[in-house]
Amino acid sequence: MQKKVVLAVVCATAVAGAVTAAIVVKRKMRTGDKWAKAIEIVKDMEEKCATPIGKLKQIADAMVVEMHAGLASEGGSKLKMLISYVDNLPTGDENGLFYALDLGGTNFRVLRVQLGGKDGRLVNQEFAEVPIPPNLMTGTSEVLFDYIAAELAKFVAQEGEELRLPPGKMRELGFTFSFPVIQTSIASGTLVRWTKGFSIDDTVGQDVVMELTKAMERQGVHMHVSALVNDTVGTLAGGRYFHKDVIAAVILGTGTNAAYVESAQAIPKWHGALPESGEMVINMEWGNFRSSHLPLTDYDLALDVESLNAGEQIFEKVISGMYLGEIVRRVLLNMAEEAAFFGDTVPSKLKIPFILRTPDMSAMHHDTSSDLKVVGNKLKDILEIPNTSLKAIRVVVELCNIVATRGAQLAAAGILGILKKMGKDTVKEGDKNRTVIALDGGLYEHYSEYSKCMEDTLNELLGEEVSKSIEIVHSNDGSGIGAALLAASHSHYR
């Protein structure tokens, strides 16, 4: 993979000549005060978003400090460092039929996987996706879970004869529940609050596994919930099943989070008997990380103040897919207001928060056509800004590059923090083991300029020798298949 000399080129010139072109145009346009002002805004953004290697290493060190504090006591850090109660990750020996239920938004998925042990591995998998009627998202707990259990019953009824379980044996299920819960065991956790448009008061404070279990009983579904899973922990489990050296997982999507395998003895706030494996998966909730070293701009601070969770999830707000496009929109709006960048009238669509989504930003960033036609069409179709000049379009692409580069490099610093905490940031003599990190999420998967910059930055931070021992793999669908695998690795019948 490319190293230090190349990195500056890869991350800073994702669109060839964008920065240079802007500077050249600036020189030519000295008589145009408005243009000069627009370029000044972009250059100021570039300076404030700067993430030199020294700063990234400071951020990684700050991440390590917060990880220690979060493991020491509840509430000891902005990083919650939640104990997942997952002390056995899949080994590949898992055998049998397992189900998963993935509830994390306005749809839920049910999955069925057939595991064949070391020889057969993943024999078969099937899934169904079911929309949740809006009225059920604000109704009662019983009605919501009865609906989910009824759909699960329909899915179970489609089992082939070859999958029938022997008499007396219950089906087992992994339950991915992507809402804030306080987990009390591998298969129990109380709901702290609903998010993502749900608002069902009588579920708050209840054990969500018990709510699902009661609904399954009412609907005649004979199934035992063996694991309650966070989607990041599921990604780690899915990664470990296919790559035995996976030690951490990171999700870079609409939101962001990380989980890793910690020594149970290194968790002062753990008061129970140490697990036989000696290990415990920790759900970091790293989106809430904050440090004085983070390069935050006025646009970031304003976005945070106006958000529903002001003061929270600061790291997530500068690196994840929900926010990158919105940051670009805020800078463009300032350029339109302060420098008439799109003409004398400020485009009304540009004033609408979150109208510029990160997938659209990604499409603009990846435009390699000579006339940057994709960018022009996006400005026209989304923001109703027609006939933008090529020189202005180049500046828009440059702005996308600045925001994406900062996010990608900060994500790399976070990963370095995890590796440092685990002692994997150096090469020990005689140690030939690989260190594998499982990545998932739409931002990582589809925004290639972002993911490439993140990986190249991590390589530079680690140095050539260490980076040879570190591998990043794509662990697809951890929130689904990972939950089924964790049900298998924590099966009652092991």
List active site positions: 109, 178, 231
Q: How far apart are the first and last CA of the chain?
A: 42
Amino acid at 341: F
Contact criterion met (CB below 8 Å) for 488 and 102: no
Q: How far is CA 69 from CA 189, 277, 292, 421, in A?
A: 23, 24, 16, 12
For the record, the structure tokens of 219 come out as 């609907």
DSSP 243: -
Which residues, 6+ apart, have CB-to-CB distance to 380 below 8 Å?
A: 386, 388
Question: What stretches of 413-460 adopt beta strand conformation (E)?
Answer: 435-440
Residues 191 and 204: their CA atoms lie apart, in Å, by 5
The CA radius of gyration of the chain, in Å to the nearest whole number, is: 24
Provide the H-helix boundaries in 88-156.
Answer: 117-120, 141-156
Residues 284 and 451: their CA atoms lie apart, in Å, by 21
Residues 86 and 429: their CA atoms lie apart, in Å, by 31
Question: What stretches of 104-197 adopt beta strand conformation (E)?
Answer: 107-116, 122-131, 171-177, 181-185, 188-191
Give the pairing type, strands 435-440 and 246-252: parallel
Contacts 24+ apart (CB under 8 A), 151-160: 151/108, 151/110, 152/99, 152/101, 152/110, 152/216, 152/219, 152/221, 152/223, 153/219, 153/220, 153/221, 155/110, 155/112, 155/128, 156/99, 156/112, 156/221, 156/223, 158/126, 159/112
For the record, the structure tokens of 94 come out as 């898992």
Contact criterion met (CB below 8 Å) for 319 and 410: yes
Give burial (CB, 10 Å; 0-12/13-18/19+) of 292: exposed
